[in-house]
Amino acid sequence: MPRLLPEVTPRNTVTMGLLALGLAVAVGGVVHASTYDDLVRFDVDGVVTEVRTESETVSELLREKNVDLAATDKVSPAPVTELDDGDVVKVRRAKAVTLVVDGKISQKTVHDVDVAGALKTLGVTPKEGAAFSMAPDERLGLDGNSVVVSNPKPVTLKVDGKKQRLTTSAPTMQALLAQRGVEIGRLDEVKPGLGAYLKPRQALRVVRIEKVTRTEKIPVDHTVTYTNDASLLAGDTKVVKEGRDGLDRAKVQLVLADGKVRERRVISRSSVRPPIAEVKKRGTKKPDTGSDDSVDGGVWDRIAKCESGGNWSINTGNGYYGGLQFSAATWHSVGGPGLPHQHSKATQIKYAKILQARSGWGQWSCAAKVGVH
C-alpha cells in the first residue's frame, strides 16, 4: 500500500523546527571541539600525560599547566610554537650532578631523566663489573645528585705488615676494607681517609695505632766542672775526679704505629742512682813556640803543613790524627792522652818532641821533604 505522510499541523511544524535547531546546535558543537580542542602529549621529565587543550602555543600550554621554566631548563618545541592536534611537548628540568668516576670529581648539569641518560650525555662508559652509587635506571632528582662510577681498578693495600696487590671496584677506602674484612680500631689511621674515593694504581695503607705504658730505666748525664790550672798548657785538660752517669726509673707512655715508637712521653720518674759530677783542670799556660836544641820551632809547622795542610784539629778518618798525623797507638806510646786532634797544637808538639827524641825524624815522611834529617 502507498505510504501515507503524516498530516502537517501547526503543532507539528513547531516541533520539527525545534528538532532542526537542536541538530544545528549539536553539529555546531562538534565543529567547535574539532577546531579548538587539540589532543597533546605533555612530557615533563619522562612523566607523560595526554591533555586536551585550547592553548594555541607551547607557552600558553605551560601557563595552563602551571609549569614555570628556569633559565637552564629546556622545552621542545620552542615556547612560541603553535600547537596542533597530536603534538608532543617535552620539558626537561636542569639537574645538578656531582660526578665521581674512579676518584675524579666534577660538577655537571644535565637535562636527562635518569642516571643512564646522564652518563651517556657526559661521555661516561662504565666497564663490566663497575659499581654505582645510583642504579642506571634511577631517576635524577631536582635537588642535586651524587653519581659515583667505580670501575675495576688495580690498587695496593698494606695492612698488618702485609702488602697486597689487588683489583677492586670498591668506590671508597671504607668499602674496600669492608670487602676485605679488615676491621679498623678507634685509633687506627687509614691513608687516604675512609671516605676517600679510590683511584687507579693508588697506594692504600692502614696503620695500627696502639698506646702502651711501660717502665723504663733512663740514663741521667753527669755534669763536668772545670778549674783553671796554670801548670797545664792552654787547651789541655786533666781529670781530677771521675764522673758517672746517674739512672732514673720512669713510667713512660708510648704511641706505637705498626709496632714502632712514634711518640714517647714520660709520665713520672724517680731516681735509682744519682749522677756524680766530673771535675777537670783546664790549662791556661801559653805554649812556648821558640827554638829547641836540635831545630828551630817552626819545623813543626812546616811538617804539619806537609802532613795535614797545617790543620791541627783534623781527623782524616784513615787512622791518623792531628797536625802531625799521629796514629793512636804511637800517640799513646809516648803518653799522649785521648787522641791528638782533641788537643792543642802545643800539646801535639810536646809529644812529637818525645817521639822525635826516641825514634828520630824518620817517624814523619814529610820531615825530609821540608829539609829536616
Give residue-wise pLDDT tens across range 135-152.
999 999 999 999 999 999
Domain 38-92 and domain 211-281, same fold? Reply is no
Under DSSP, the state recorded for 154 is: E
Per-residue model confidence (pLDDT) at position 22: 40
Per-residue model confidence (pLDDT) at position 297: 54
Specify the 3-state DSSP secondary structure of 259. Answer: coil
For the chain, give the longest Cα–Cα distance: 184
Nearest to 148 by CA among 190, 118, 112, 180: 118
Dist CA 234 CA 229 (whole Å) = 9
Mean pLDDT of all residues in 168-195: 95
Nearest to 38 by CA among 48, 25, 49, 50: 50
By percentage, how much of the chain surpasses pLDDT 70?
87
- List alpha helices for 89-150, DSSP H: 115-121
One-letter amino acid identity for 113?
V
95-150 topology per CATH: Ubiquitin-like (UB roll) (3.10.20)
Dist CA 14 CA 119 (whole Å) = 73
Mean pLDDT of all residues in 344-360: 91
The arrangement of strands across the sheet holding 47-53 comes to: 47-53, 38-44, 88-92, 74-76
Residue-wise pLDDT for 88-97, tens only, equals 999 999 999 9
pLDDT surpassing 60 at residue 290: no
By percentage, how much of the chain surpasses pLDDT 90?
75
Per-residue model confidence (pLDDT) at position 21: 37
Q: Which residue has the cell 670498591?
A: 170
Domain ranges of the chain: 38-92, 95-150, 153-207, 211-281, 287-369
Which CATH number is 211-281's, of 2.20.230.10, 3.60.20.10, 3.40.50.300, 3.40.50.10090? Answer: 2.20.230.10
CATH assignment of 38-92? 3.10.20.90
CATH assignment of 153-207? 3.10.20.30
Model confidence, pTM: 0.57
**Beta-carbon count within 10 A of 146 CB:** 12
How many degrees, rounded to 5, is the angle at CA 122 between CA 119 and CA 126?
Answer: 40
Dist CA 313 CA 326 (whole Å) = 12
CATH 3.30.70.260 describes domain 287-369:
no
